[in-house]
Structure 1
Amino acid sequence: MTPNAAPKWLLVIVNKVDLYWSEIEAARNRYYIHGDSDFSSIARELLQRVGTNRLQYRMLPVSTGAADYLFDSARGRINASSELNTAQAGASIEALMETLEELTNV
């Protein structure tokens, strides 16, 4: 891979945030680069290997839509109600678009 083709950023998208908005701090801590989770440790190790001056790390909570989640399986049912409304979910998509534009210099 040539230096110009090397990745310049890593964007971690935390999906379905509308289902656990009341626990957003726990989710943030799990994926935040300075958090204390296994995921955070692996992300920090990646950045140390690659170099923070070469790879930018971002984490962003996203909800593509405010919708309840229902899943049935042989193991049982998972049912979670959306904690956000449509406008709030839409705002998270706008934040994603703005972040991607910023990262790609569009």
Structure 2
Amino acid sequence: MRENSQYYIANQDEIGKNDVLNWLTDSMATEQLLLENKSIANKIILEPIPGGCEWLTLLSQALRDNVRIVFQYTSFHSPTKNDTNRTLEPLCLKLFKRRWY
């Protein structure tokens, strides 16, 4: 006789508190929704994806490897001033108001 097997998530509380996992899950659910509704794609209005993604790979690698990044900085407030070299030691990556920081 075969027993019924039950599966459960042992660390459900931890998963619920994981912001990265929740963000990825929401993104995948949205992608699936769009794929299943191609016929109404022109009626689904999305906001642009977060800005700054072109540097996300480099910054996540620097964060993982605990290395500093040297970059050229130009102020948005005074764009006529000379660019300066800056050194950044990444401590975290944050998505805030559709922009990566």
With the shorter chain as reference, the TM-score category is under 0.3
**Higher strand proportion:** 1
TM-score by length of 1: 0.23
Structure with higher RCO (Cα < 8 A, 6+ apart): 1
Structure exhibiting the larger radius of gyration computed from Cα positions: 2
User: When the two structures are superposed, what TM-score results if normalisation uses the length of structure 2?
Assistant: 0.24
